[in-house]
Structures are given as C-alpha cells and as structure tokens.
Amino acid sequence: MNTLNIENWQEANQHYLMAAVEAVREELELYKNCKNNDIEKKPERVEQSPAQERLKQTGEQLPAPSTLDTVTEMFCLSDFERNILLMCAGMELDSSFADLCGSIQNVKRNYPTFSLALAAMPGAHWSAITPDAPLRYWRLIRIHEGGLLTINPLRIDERVLHYLIGLQHTDERLMGIIEPLFLDDTMVPSHGKLVDSMNQVWTQQKNEIPFPIIQLCGEDVHAKRTISAAACETLESNLSALSTHLLPGNHTELNELIRLLERETNLSSSALLVNCNEVDTNDSTRLNIISHFCEHFRGTLIISSRKRIDILKRPVIIFDVNNPTTSEQHVVWENALGKEVQKMNGNLKTIISQFNMSSRTIRSAGSVLIGKLTAIELEEEEKSREPLNILWDVCRELTRPQLGSLAQRIEPTATWDDLVLPDPQKQILREIAIHLRQRAKVYGEWGFRDKSARGLGISALFTGESGTGKTMASEVLANELHLDLYRIDLSQVVNKYIGETEKNLSCVFDEAEKGGAILLFDEADALFGKRSDVKDSHDRYANIEVSYLLQRMESYRGLAILTTNMRSALDKAFLRRIRFVVQFPYPDAMQRTGIWSRIFPKDTPTEGLDVNKLARLNLAGGNIRNIALNAAFYAAEKNESVQMGHLLEAAHREYNKLEKTLTGNETKGWI
C-alpha cells in the first residue's frame, strides 16, 4: 500500500477495532440488564443491534484486512475467544469499561474475568480457558496469578494490544534477542540465483506447515544475511535475526521463547534467520538445544552456518553461499575502485587470482586504497610504490587468517641470495614460484580448471636434516611472491581425540583460503608417518586424517609445504599426491663456505674472519647461524668486532649442545 492508503487503513482499522469493542460492551450491557431484572438467560437477537450494524459498516470501509480479523484467523480464535480478547482490549482503550465490569460483578472486581465472559458472551465454551487453547497458548492474554482461575483478572498482552491498534513494536521480552534485518547491500548475480531458488522452495512448499528449513552454508556471514533479506523482500516478508548463543539451556524457558518468537514472527510477518556461524559442532549440548528449537519452531526458518549441521529433524534444503565468481569479483573491484581502477594497468586479475574475497571485503579494500592514494601526506616509501602493490598489501591485511594457537606468522626476510643450495634444488623452488604466479592464467584463461578441478592445489615436500634450509626456503618463496607465511604448530593441530585433528586442519585451510597464504607444516613426521596397519579405530582414523589433509592440500588455492627430516618414513602413496619434492642436502665444505660468507648482516662489525677455516665445521646452516649469533653477542658484550675468537667460543657451546666434540683439525689456525 502507498502512504495514503496506509494512513487510510490505520484510521479505518482503529474505527473497526473500537466498533468491535463497542459490540462487546453491548453484550455486557445486555447481560447487566438481564441480571438486574432477574432474567436467567439473555434473549436471542432477532436482528442486528446498532453496535453490530456499525461494526459491519466500518468493516466494509477497510481498504485491507483489519488486525483484529488477522489475529482471529492467524491464531484460530473462536467468536467467544475473540470477544474475550476484545473485553481485555476494551479495558485499555475505554476508561468506562472498568466501571461496567465492576457493576456486573462487584465493585472490587472491576476487570474482565473468565467468569464474566462465560456468563455474558454468546457461544461460550469452557475449553477457551485451557492452557493449550489459543488465548493462553499464544499469550494473547495474561491471567493474574493467585486465586480462582475463573475470577482472576485478565489482561491483554501489550504486544498484542499494539498490534490490534495498528502499531508494529517488537515484544520487549525479545529485545536484545532478535534484531530486524533489512536489505542494505547489492548482490552479485550468483547470489541472486540463490534468492530465486529460496523463493522457489517457499512457493512450491507453501502448503506445508511448517516450511522446510533453508540452510545457508559458507564463510561470508554478511552475504548470507543479504541473501536472506532479499529473499524475504521478494515475498513481501520481513526478516529478524537470532543468535543461537542466546537460546536458553532450560527446556521450559526455551519452549517459552519459541512460543514468543513464533507469535512475533506471525504478528510481524517475518522469517527468522538463526545465526549458527560460531557454533562449535563438537558441543553436543548446544547442538541439542538448536535442534530442539528448529524442530519446534513452526515459522519460516533460515539457518546461517559455516558448515552443514546434520542434527535437524525437520526437512532441510541446503544452499552453499560461495564468494563471487572471478568475473563477478572483477565487476565489484571496478565499482569499488572507480577511477583508480586505471592505475591497476589491467592487472586486477592478479589480485583476484590470489585473494578470494567477498563483495564487502573488496569494497573495504577499495576504500582503503583510495584513502591511501588520496592522502595529503604520503610516506616517501609509499609514494614510490605502484598502486597495484599497495593494493596487494591491503588485501593481505584484510584476508590475513586468524589461526590463534594453531599457527605462527613468520615475517619473511630471506632472499634468493641468502639461500645456499645446489642448482637443481634452487631450480625446483623457482618452478614452485612460477606455478604460483601463473596459476590464474593456466587454470583460468587456459581452461585447466574447467578440464578438471582435481589436484589444482600447489603442494611441496621439503626433506632434509634439521638446519639444512627448509624453513629459509619457505621464507624465500613468501618474500618472492609477497605472501604471508604461516608455520603450523602440529603439536596443537594433532589431537588424540577422534575428529579433533580434522577439525583443526579444516580451520587452518578455511582461514588461509581467503588470502592464499603459504602454509608451512614444519616437521610433519608427526602426521605423515607410513600408513599404519589398521589395528584399532584410532589407527583407522589416523589414516583418515592424513587423507583429509592431502585432499585439502590438493584443493587449496595457495601453497602448502610439508617438511620432514625423514623422507623414507613417508608412504609412497602420499608422495604421489604432492606436486614438488625438494631434497635439502647436508651442506658440503663449499656450501658451508657460502653460508659463512652470507651469515653476518652488513651492519655487523667483523674483523679477521676466514670463511674457509670456518667452513671446516661440519654443521648445517641452522647450527652455523646459532654460532654466528652467539658470537655476535659475545663481541657486543666486550664492545669488540666479531672475531675468530668469539666464533670459537660460540662453536664450543654449539657442539656441547649437539653432544659432539670439536676437534683440533676443525679449529686449526683460528687464533
């Protein structure tokens, strides 16, 4: 209805409500007269009374159904139950109603009661006052506690009274529990198709009570809210949101809340969006509460969750909400950047191939970039950088995974010059970088993704003893590709409880997927031993965990690196599913010379160092770094340059730690 029609309806609706109240007053007046004249039974009407005639006339003037008729139909009220509701409404809307009730019953009982209704109203039936009858079940009226049921005061519920008057106001008991949602964002076409699918479900299932539950699964919470709001708007329905952490654990309180919510959604013509995005799927108590709620709530229900929830007993139709497609992201980027898109030099596809972002995050990134480019005072370093590189860093920050104790972010500083490896190993590392840089062209433009979506993840296995450069090589790749690097703490990921390891791995990959960070599963022997013989359920599940990890690595859009000290301990079946294998050899004398020549930063003062003599130490790069660092501290404490004597002292300390003996041949001629 337009504004004028709404105003006309509100005025007509109030006239109709007051006419209905007046008709009830007329019944009470008639009963009062009969009682005063000792007439045992009210006479039957042979024609419409003046009040009934006015009610009919005002009803004919309504441009749309009245709230009174809507409540009567919505909650299946009998004529008698409707009159009881109007008696209670009359007490609030007509100041003389109390005197009338008091004159019929007695002065002290100047309020509506079931006893008065049973005696005065036509079509009276005792079942109207039972707890499961509509008036009490839906909390349309409230009965004062204490005393006899039939003579206790009756009051209309405040929310229901506002509705009858024509005012929409959320029940105060639900304030802070539900919130109205509105369509406040645009959608990409792929999400618009989900809206059409939801409406098709509701249209086809319109005769089913209740509707099947629709479950929207995916990481983008905002997109799921927008899709739900759009679907409801298309059907001219409202939408309210409820967080499951607000559901009480007590079943009595939960059932009371369900009843209020169902009444509220009926009165406001709303669907309910239940937010399960942060639900712990291993919390059986909370899942049982959610299941009970969904099973007993009879309204239109949408569930928003990251993963599928399989505990629901009602029919459920699941839709996966993915981030916009590549082409859709390109359009969103162009709109977000405006005229600044020209500064990308046609390289937006590079950003899109690396960062799988939602529409909202893309718009945030665009705003941040525009703010940086239009700032009055820019840092000198920022002025010299390409806008595309600035945007790349903005996207890295916005998509940076939140992995808590499961992973540690490493700030990469190592470069190719710092890496001392034989040429074949370096060549494989450069090939890994090429695959990451060119995957958008090969997978997307050249059609390999359309040919087969299996095995498109880039995975690598770095094998070799501790300290041979596996972590440094990961840093070099992260630095080269300008990506975040995360070392996964397998002691936190691997869990003795069945299902926990898989859950932790899922968290790692889901979070990292947004920005395609490099994942380093350091010392992965804890998870990647030879395939165990299945002797019990734990062995069987351990194999499932490994298979799950390899499956996620194969589909991961970034680079996942596994490191191990013992390649021989790995099952060949696992190795076949890893794209690159790099063997990090123990450094020979020439390679150790190269490591020693690069080990000290340019600002470190040194004096009289002989890298050829230092290379006699038969150690890996990690141990060499420890010696160099400790020697620097010894020299700093003495306010001296780093000299061979400091390195000799540090070498003795490192060898003692390794439980090795430092021989005279290794340190001959040092001092």
Q: 550-606 pLDDT, tens per residue?
A: 888 888 888 999 888 876 666 677 778 889 999 999 999 999 999 999 999 999 999
Strands 213-217 and 316-320, bridge-based pairing: parallel
Percent of the chain with pLDDT strictly greater than 90: 55
- Are 77 and 162 in a shared domain? yes
Instruction: Read off the pLDDT band of 533 (50, 70, 90).
Output: very low
CA-to-CA dists, residue 174 to 42, 178, 242, angstroms = 43, 6, 10
* Band of residue 226 on the pLDDT scale cut at 50, 70, 90: very high
pLDDT at 541 over 50: no
Task: Decide if 560 contacts 459 (C-beta within 8 A).
Answer: yes
Least confident of 51-55, 147-151, 378-382, 631-635: 378-382
What is the band of 495 on the pLDDT scale with cuts at 50, 70, 90?
A: low
Question: Residues 361-387: what's their mean pLDDT?
Answer: 77
Model confidence at 45: pLDDT above 50 = yes
- State yes or no: pLDDT of 39 exceeds 90: no
| pLDDT score, position 310 | 77
Which pLDDT band, with edges at 50, 70 and 90, does 280 fall under?
confident
Q: Judge whether 231 and 198 are in contact, CB under 8 Å.
A: yes
Tell me whether residue 404 is in a domain.
no
Got the DSSP string for 81-123?
A: HHHHHHHHHHHHH-TTHHHHHHHHS-TT--S--HHHHHHHSTT
Query: Given pLDDT bands bounded at 50, 70 and 90, which one contains residue 493?
Result: confident
* Amino acid letter, residue 588: D
Q: State which of 583, 617, 649 marks the end of a domain.
A: 583
User: What's residue 539's pLDDT?
Assistant: 46
Least confident of 142-156, 296-310, 327-341, 570-584: 570-584
Given a cut of 90, whether residue 515 has pLDDT beyond it is no
- Residue 438: which residues within 8 A CB-CB, separation 6 or more? none
Residue 420 backbone phi and psi in degrees, to 5: -105, 100
334 has a pLDDT exceeding 70: yes
Please answer whether residues 16 and 81 qualify as being in contact, where contact means their C-beta atoms are separated by less than 8 angstroms. no
Cα(216)–Cα(226) distance, rounded to whole angstroms? 11
314 and 209 within one domain: yes
* pLDDT (tens digit per residue) in 90-134: 999 988 899 999 998 877 888 999 999 999 999 999 999 999 999
User: Which pair of tokens denotes residue 607?
Assistant: 């004096």
The last residue of one of the domains, among 296, 320, 344, is 320
**Token reading at 127:** 């079942």
- Of residues 7 and 487, the one with the higher pLDDT is 487
**Do 369 and 511 lie in a common domain?**
no
CATH number at residue 636: 1.10.8.60
Residue 207 has a pLDDT of: 66
The answer to whether residue 618 is domain-embedded is yes
Residues 293 and 215 placed together within one structural domain of the fold: yes
pLDDT of residue 540: 42
411 in any annotated domain: no
Report the Cα 347 to chain-centroid distance in Å.
Answer: 30
Q: Are residues 287 and 234 part of one domain?
A: yes
195: Cβ–Cβ under 8 A, 6 or more apart, which residues?
187, 227, 230, 231, 234
Calpha distance 518→559 (Å, rounded): 5
Distance, in Å, from the CA atom of 307 to the CA atom of 303, rounded to the nearest integer, reads 11
Query: 600 and 642 in contact (C-beta within 8 Å)?
Result: yes
pLDDT for 407 equals 87
- Region 454-462: mean pLDDT is 82
156: β partners:
141
What's the token pair of residue 480?
């080269």
CATH of the domain at 228: 3.40.50.300
Does the residue 70 lie in any domain? yes
Q: Is residue 406 part of a domain?
A: no
Q: Is the pLDDT of residue 31 over 70?
A: yes
Positive or negative: CA dihedral 84, 89, 90, 91 = positive
pLDDT at residue 535, as a whole number:
47
Cβ atoms 218, 303 nearer than 8 A: no
The whole domain housing 502 covers 416-583
Instruction: Assign 143 a pLDDT band (cuts: 50, 70, 90).
Output: very high
Say if 410 falls within a structural domain. Answer: no
Claim to verify: residue 160 and residue 17 sit in the same structural domain: yes
* Residues 481 and 433 occupy one common structural domain: yes
Residue 608 has pLDDT above 80, yes or no: yes
In a domain, 371, yes or no: yes
Say whether pLDDT at 48 is over 80: no
Single out the residue in 169, 188, 207 at which a domain terminates.
169
Please report where in the chains the tokens 């359009």 appear, as a residue. Answer: 331
Residues 83 and 21 in one domain: yes
Give the H or E element holding residue 178.
strand 178-181
425 and 558 share one domain? yes
Flag whether pLDDT at 400 surpasses 60: yes
What's the token pair of residue 268?
């406001």
Asked if residue 536 and residue 456 are part of one domain, the reply reads: yes
Domain count across the chain: 5
Residue 301 CA to residue 272 CA, distance in Å, equals 5
- Split at pLDDT 50, 70, 90, the class of 283 is confident
Cα 285 from Cα 249, distance rounded (Å): 8
pLDDT of residue 530: 45
Instruction: Categorize the per-residue pLDDT at 531 as very low, low, confident or very high, splitting at 50, 70 and 90.
Output: very low
Same domain, 467 and 606: no
Same domain, residue pair 25 and 92 = yes
When pLDDT is averaged across residues 228-240 and rounded to a whole number, the result is 93
| Mean pLDDT score of the chain | 87
Q: Does 226 map to a domain?
A: yes
